[in-house]
Chain A
Amino acid sequence: MVKAAATRGDVHAANQSTPLISMRNIRKSFGSVHALQGASVDVHAGEVVALVGDNGAGKSTLVKIMAGVFGFDSGEYSIEGQPAKIASPADATALGIQTVYQDLALCNNLDAVQNLFLGRELTGPAWFGRRIRRAECEVRAREVLTRMRLGQLSLTRPVGAMSGGQRQNIAIARSILWTPKVVIFDEPTAALSHSASEQVSALVRTLANDGLGIVVVSHDIHNFVVNATDRIEVMRLGANVASFKSSEVTGEQVVNAMVGGNEAVNLAG
């Protein structure tokens, strides 16, 4: 098997369709700190893209810009070929970009249905106090969970009483409830056991097979990144330094690129 670092151009050439998300030469500074210095990433439908890099490489900043948490100073951000107008997380959500946060952002005292619909409940009229249409929410939640092959997950237990893997699944289910185009996963396997990580890998693949674009930020290079993604974008000091096809690379090569011990760094630098 040939395992070689490819330039970004080579990988992109393999996928000619208009990307769901295209970010070009994104620059972003926080005061005197230049977090991003011309970072780029494309995400196509059906593709799982990993963003990797050492701490401070800028990957988190890049996905936060993608998700509308931060704005950016210069560069191009387009969604399906159109310039993206995103000023808040809500704008990103409206444009079909969902994020599964590392801390999951679940309310432990609420059940699965309440967490899935939090902020977007189906409700009755204002004069009746916006009564939640629980039955409809429940049916819709069950549909999504069944699609994720989690049909037997309890809808009525508080999620705080569930296992880490189940909670992760609920956070993922929430992200796909409103049929997004792109789902961003921030460290999806950081707090999970090996078997739960594998379950998440399988879920990520299922979502990509359904035509979603997936972006994963992960430090789990040797297991998750190399095995569960299609393409790996390596970032260092706020810019892309290498791009790999996951099937053609080893964990060591990726780590080398991350820390600067690889020829790819020199090419990009």
Chain B
Amino acid sequence: MANSAAASGDVKRRTFGEVLNSDMRALPVIIGLVALWVFFALQSNVFLTPQNLSNLLVQSTVVGIMAIGLMFVLLVKEIDLSVAAINGVTSVLMAKLVVDYGVSPWLAVTVAIVTGAAIGSFSARWVTFVGVPSFVVTLGLGLALNGLQLVLLPPTARYGLMGTGIDKIAETKISGITSWAALVIGLVAFAALVLSGIARRKRAGLEASLFSRFVLPLGAAAIFGAIVVTILNAHQGIPVVVLIFAILLGIGGYILKETRFGLYLYAVGNNDEAARRAGVKVARIKMAAFAIAGGIAALAGVLGASRALGVGVFSGGGVGGGTLLLESIAATVIGGVSLFGGRGSIHAALLGALVIGTVQNGLNLMGVENYVRLIVTGLLLVLAVSIDKLIEKAMGQQNF
């Protein structure tokens, strides 16, 4: 009797909140993004040209990459307000090593990323062992790093990176057959991963629909990828920075969706006490999340420096993180990562960064003043968090 009651409870249709909370969470963001594109396409003839779309994508990469890192921290219900400062100070460190000490760009970039990760893990240690809330630790640390950034800069307050090799990262584009080969490699890796999962399910005698699990996602990825590559090839090819962003999205998606570490991030973000009792080393998971955010912020700093052909006071958004910090957090949250922990998928970083990038790019094309852009971005952030909160209410669950 009781069993049949339980069963009927399971087969009932999912509530609106549950649908929004699951795979369909991205839908409102995608609809919003399409609406923005339609709006800007109507406002400016230039908006939908391959050149502008390529620019838009490149403009979105730094924020998008920052968002990938921040996502790991938000998933464990913490926040890192020092990511922009890490971005700035490590890019200046990298430039100093290259310009002042003649260190090879590869080594300098590696040092920057490792330093970023070390700073992140330091914040996490402070948060987990001393028990100070992460927003306080990272806010303070961020300001300290801003100071350090000024110390590292030369009297001219700027390191030019032209001709150092670092500038090549932002300049390089792959086009023609190579660009298509890159897409095919990505699709093959995706297909192999999905197929191995399906094979396991079949072996275990579980349901494994080839269409819904393989054909549909791979087909969608192939079509989406082909459109992006075609557009980018119509204007010089795929910028390497975009390729790096795509690779990070792929790796991030694999970690979050498939691995034990990814699962622990969600578990800790929702109920760290339950995770601890289940044997999850909560402090270590949080430290890894902060380290990833720091390392990725440093990588974003390198890419930003390469695009700007130099570093200075302005690197990392300037003192206090400026708009870079706000835009990174906004992108993550607008994309669908919950500020309340334990919820969000990797595509949030892409979608959120595209929304931020589109607003910036579109309003620039319309010749709108910068303050309007700030107002719009700020309001978008509030809107996104409000939607998140409303979903929580629709679920009928606090802390879901």
Query: Which residues from chain A sit less than 8 Å from chain B, CB to CB?
Result: 89-90, 93, 101, 103-110, 114, 118-121, 123, 129-136, 138-139, 149-154, 157-158, 160-163, 165-166, 169, 195-196, 198-199
Query: Does residue B267 face the partner (Cβ distance < 8 Å to A)?
Result: yes
A154 near B10 (CB under 8 angstroms)? yes
Report the count of interface residues on B (CB-CB < 8 A).
42
Inter-chain contacts of A158 with B (CB < 8 A): 18, 21, 400
Instruction: Kindly identify which residue among A110, A114, A120, A157 contacts B10, using a CB–CB cutoff of 8 Å.
Output: A157
Q: How far is the CA of A180 from the CA of B12 in the complex (A)?
A: 34
Query: Does residue B9 face the partner (Cβ distance < 8 Å to A)?
Result: yes
Query: Does residue B136 face the partner (Cβ distance < 8 Å to A)?
Result: no
Inter-chain contacts of B6 with A (CB < 8 A): 150, 152-153, 163, 165-166, 169
Write the chain B residue with the least CB distance to A101: B277
B279 near A120 (CB under 8 angstroms)? yes
The stretch that binds A, out of B108-116, B159-167, B214-222, B253-261, is B253-261
* Cβ < 8 Å to A, chain B residues 194-228: 197, 200-201, 203-206
Write the chain B residue with the least CB distance to A139: B204
B203 near A135 (CB under 8 angstroms)? yes
A108 near B399 (CB under 8 angstroms)? yes
B278 near A105 (CB under 8 angstroms)? yes
A228 to nearest B CB, angstroms?
A: 15
A130 near B204 (CB under 8 angstroms)? no
Query: Does residue B31 face the partner (Cβ distance < 8 Å to A)?
Result: no
A130 near B260 (CB under 8 angstroms)? yes
Instruction: Kindly identify which residue among A101, A118, A121, A160 contacts B400, using a CB–CB cutoff of 8 Å.
Output: A160
A102 to nearest B CB, angstroms?
A: 12
- Which of A107, A123, A151 has most B Cβ within 10 Å? A107
B270 near A108 (CB under 8 angstroms)? yes
Q: How far is the CA of A71 from the CA of B67 in the complex (A)?
A: 44
Inter-chain contacts of B3 with A (CB < 8 A): 149-152
Instruction: Kindly identify which residue among B18, B201, B263, B395 contacts A132, using a CB–CB cutoff of 8 Å.
Output: B263
A105 near B200 (CB under 8 angstroms)? no
B2 near A195 (CB under 8 angstroms)? yes
B148 to nearest A CB, angstroms?
A: 33
Inter-chain contacts of B205 with A (CB < 8 A): 139
B366 to nearest A CB, angstroms?
A: 40
Known A-B contacts A105-B278, A135-B200; A199 and B2 likewise in contact (beta carbons under 8 Å): yes
5 more contacts with CB within 8 A, not counting A129-B258, A129-B261, A152-B10, are A108-B399, A123-B260, A130-B260, A157-B10, A161-B395
Inter-chain contacts of B7 with A (CB < 8 A): 152-153
A133 near B397 (CB under 8 angstroms)? no
Instruction: Kindly identify which residue among B10, B206, B274 contacts A105, using a CB–CB cutoff of 8 Å.
Output: B274
A133 near B258 (CB under 8 angstroms)? no
Q: How far is the CA of A108 from the CA of B206 in the complex (A)?
A: 24
B395 near A109 (CB under 8 angstroms)? no
Write the chain A residue with the least CB distance to B10: A154
A136 near B277 (CB under 8 angstroms)? no
Instruction: Kindly identify which residue among A103, A118, A196 contacts B280, using a CB–CB cutoff of 8 Å.
Output: A118
Contact with A along B266-282 (1 / 0, CB 8 A): 11011101110111100
Instruction: Kindly identify which residue among A107, A139, A199 contacts B267, using a CB–CB cutoff of 8 Å.
Output: A107
- In the assembled complex, 27 residue pairs joining A and B whose CB atoms fall closer than 8 Å, in A order, are A101-B277, A104-B274, A105-B274, A107-B270, A107-B275, A108-B271, A108-B400, A109-B342, A110-B270, A118-B275, A129-B254, A130-B259, A130-B260, A131-B259, A132-B260, A135-B197, A135-B204, A136-B204, A138-B204, A138-B206, A152-B3, A153-B10, A158-B400, A160-B397, A165-B6, A198-B2, A199-B2
Query: Does residue B286 face the partner (Cβ distance < 8 Å to A)?
Result: no
Inter-chain contacts of A93 with B (CB < 8 A): 279
Write the chain B residue with the least CB distance to A105: B274
A204 to nearest B CB, angstroms?
A: 14
B274 near A118 (CB under 8 angstroms)? yes
The 3 A-B residue pairs with the shortest CB-CB distance, nearest first, are A119-B278, A119-B279, A152-B7
Known A-B contacts A107-B266, A152-B3; A134 and B200 likewise in contact (beta carbons under 8 Å): yes
Known A-B contacts A132-B263, A160-B397; A106 and B197 likewise in contact (beta carbons under 8 Å): no
Instruction: Kindly identify which residue among B15, B280, B400 contacts A109, using a CB–CB cutoff of 8 Å.
Output: B400
Inter-chain contacts of B400 with A (CB < 8 A): 108-109, 158, 160
B280 near A119 (CB under 8 angstroms)? yes
Known A-B contacts A107-B266, A132-B263, A152-B10; A119 and B275 likewise in contact (beta carbons under 8 Å): yes
Inter-chain contacts of B395 with A (CB < 8 A): 160-161
Query: Does residue B96 face the partner (Cβ distance < 8 Å to A)?
Result: no
A118 near B278 (CB under 8 angstroms)? yes
Query: Does residue B343 face the partner (Cβ distance < 8 Å to A)?
Result: yes
Inter-chain contacts of B267 with A (CB < 8 A): 107, 110, 114, 118
Inter-chain contacts of A129 with B (CB < 8 A): 254-255, 258-259, 261
Inter-chain contacts of B206 with A (CB < 8 A): 135, 138-139
B1 to nearest A CB, angstroms?
A: 9
Q: How far is the CA of A209 from the CA of B273 in the complex (A)?
A: 32
* Cβ < 8 Å to A, chain B residues 1-42: 2-3, 6-7, 9-10, 14-15, 18, 21
Write the chain B residue with the least CB distance to A93: B279
